[in-house]
Structure 1
Amino acid sequence: MDILISIFITIFGFIIGSFLNVCIYRIPKGQSIAYPPSHCTNCDSEIKWYDLVPIFSYLLLLKGKCRHCGEKISIRYPVIEFITGVLYLVIYIKYELTLTTLKYIAFITILIVVGIIDLDTTDVYFSTTIVGVVLALSFIAASGYLYSDFKQYIYGGLLGGGVIALIIVLTKGMGWGDAEICLYSGLFLGLKLTIVMLFFSFIFGSVISLILIALKKKNRKDYIPFGPFIALAAVFTVIFGDKILLWYGIF
């Protein structure tokens, strides 16, 4: 039974990943994520359902090209589908069939969209922020009936958003979109895990930025969006945060 559930959750993740590709492409353009149906961005031909099967269609049917015009399709599409499915599976294995699993699946889904859009555009959109906040508050309300410490999630949101807001006010070195991401990340994670997320956001940001500069992909004056590092740190925290807190005797 566990194997069947694992397979179902993974396939479900692949399907959601396909939808996330639509969100990542359309949200920055101000387009509807529901209409029109998926189409080639080069020739505008509508993509048939059998060419939309996550990963399989790209690799075996289309072989990375549009069926109609032959335009190359970015490898990023199946990669996002694959990563989404794997992350869903990892969360299920870790948290089993619980409200926490549902919460973190919703959280990681938002992080994938926000992180990649920020990477592409250096912008964080209110339409994604409001979804993150509403979902987080919904899970806090639900957990309030199950746990006595639900207030820690409110404190987590205040800490996450507050720390980044303070940095913005003092240094102007970050954008308000980063504060928004940390706000709802804190609402999802709670106070203690938010501390872990903030710490690793700066660690990942520093290390990856130095690597990009060393490889001459970026120079010291280039703006590097911080949102993807927050998203990466938040995913890392969802999976390993409790072990880190246990290691330091905090949890």
Structure 2
Amino acid sequence: MTALAAGLLGLLVGSFLNVVVHRVPRGESVVHPPSSCPGCGSGIRARDNVPVLSWLVLRGRCRACAAPISARYPLVELGTGVVFAAVAAIVGPTWALPAYLYLAAIAVALSAIDLDVHRLPDAIVLPSYPVVAALLLVASWGSGQWDAALRAVAGALAMLLLYVVLFVAKPGGMGLGDVKLAGVLGMLLGWWGWDALVLGAFAAFVLGGVAAVGVVLTGRGGRGAKIPFGPAMLGGALLALPAAAPVAGWYLGLMGLTPSA
């Protein structure tokens, strides 16, 4: 039931994220003016703003002028719903759930923006520091896991340090937005556990490498092509949540050790 409720919430959040993805890179307000058709300027009616369903009913066209509506709109809504449901299934109905649903939301928004404009806007990344910190403090208070709060601080500092070193060591290898995002992900991964922090950081570079190879093999760019790294960082963080404990157990098993309870 938690996953189902989160999935439905994700559909609604995804509708808002479409506005965020379109307007934030342009420096526009996400609350004013109301959404309208870019073709004829007609305002979007409430009945035409139901996530996914409205697009299907309208057959991907504006009700007023029949201008085509990009399929990305329902895909973002559906994708957000799926990610919300998956995160809720992993985290469960706990005090920490709001923090990781927030991670799911910014993962969708920032990934779409980075793929579009190769940028991670400060308007989303920087406010995420106090938002995530507050949500994790509430989670620590509600669950009594104050050691997790300390891990979150350590995780943020560790990830920031890692990305600053990489940014300085190889200029142009990654953007400053990636460095800023690292601290936010470090907090969330650190709160979840040390194993998640290590795996999330590692997975980002694996996913980034796979994406780079894919770009070269498909002929969409050469070896020097710039690949948005934000989606890999966010994807690695999300993957670390369910995979950290099994991977840590597997590794310790190879070393002949037994995971601590």
TM-score tier after normalising by the smaller chain length: over 0.9
Return structure 1 stretches of 4+ with deviation > 4 angstroms: none
Structure 1 counterpart of 2:196, which letter? Answer: L
Tell me how far 1:53 sits from its aligned partner: 0.4
The answer (yes or no) to whether the contact 1:137–1:187 under 8 Å persists in 2 is yes
Which aligned pairs between 1:96-175 and structure 2 lie closer than 5 A?
Answer: 96-145=92-141, 146-149=144-147, 150-172=149-171, 173-175=173-175
Task: Provide the C-alpha distance between the structure 2 equivalents of 1:11 and 1:237, rounded to a whole number of angstroms.
Answer: 24
Q: Deviations over 1:172-225 (max 9, x none)?
A: 111110011111001111043221111111101111111111111122232111
- 8 Å contact kept, 1:107–1:132: no
Does the 8 Å CA contact 1:159/1:194 hold for their aligned counterparts?
no
Tell me the SS of whatever aligns to 1:248: helix
Q: How far apart are the structure 2 equivalents of 1:16 and 1:99?
A: 20
**Residues of 1 paired with 2:197 and 2:128: CA distance?**
15
Could you say which residue in structure 2 is the equivalent of 1:189? 189
The residue number in structure 1 matching 2:216 is 213
Q: How does 1:87-102 map to 2 (within 5 A)?
A: 87-102=83-98
Partners in 2 of 1:11 and 1:143 — Cα distance?
A: 23
1:99 match: secondary structure: coil
* Alpha-carbon distance between aligned partners in 1 of 2:68 and 2:241, rounded to the nearest angstrom: 35
Any idea what the Cα deviations from partners look like across 1:73-132, whole Å, max 9, x if unmatched? 111111111111112112222222111222110111112111211111111111111221
Q: Given the two structures, how large is their TM-score scaled by the length of structure 2? A: 0.89
Structure 1 residues 1-251: aligned runs within 5 Å: 2=1, 5-59=2-56, 61-145=57-141, 146-149=144-147, 150-172=149-171, 173-190=173-190, 191-249=194-252
Maintained 8 Å contact 1:104/1:238: no
Q: Which amino acid is 1:130 matched to?
A: L
Query: Any unmatched runs of 5+ in structure 2?
Result: 253-258
Between 47-56 and 212-221, report the one with greater CA deviation. 212-221
Q: State the alpha-carbon separation in 1 of the partners of residues 77 and 199 from structure 2.
A: 27
> Distance in 2 between the 1:238 and 1:40 partners?
38
Match for 2:226: what amino acid?
Y
Query: Are the aligned partners of 2:126 and 2:180 in contact in 1 as well (CA < 8 Å)?
Result: no
Contiguous gaps of at least 5 residues in structure 1: none
> How many residue pairs get matched?
247
Cα distance between partner residues in 1 of 2:104 and 2:136: 16
Q: Aligned partners of 2:242, 2:33: CA distance in 1, in Å? A: 36
Q: CA deviation at 1:29?
A: 0.8
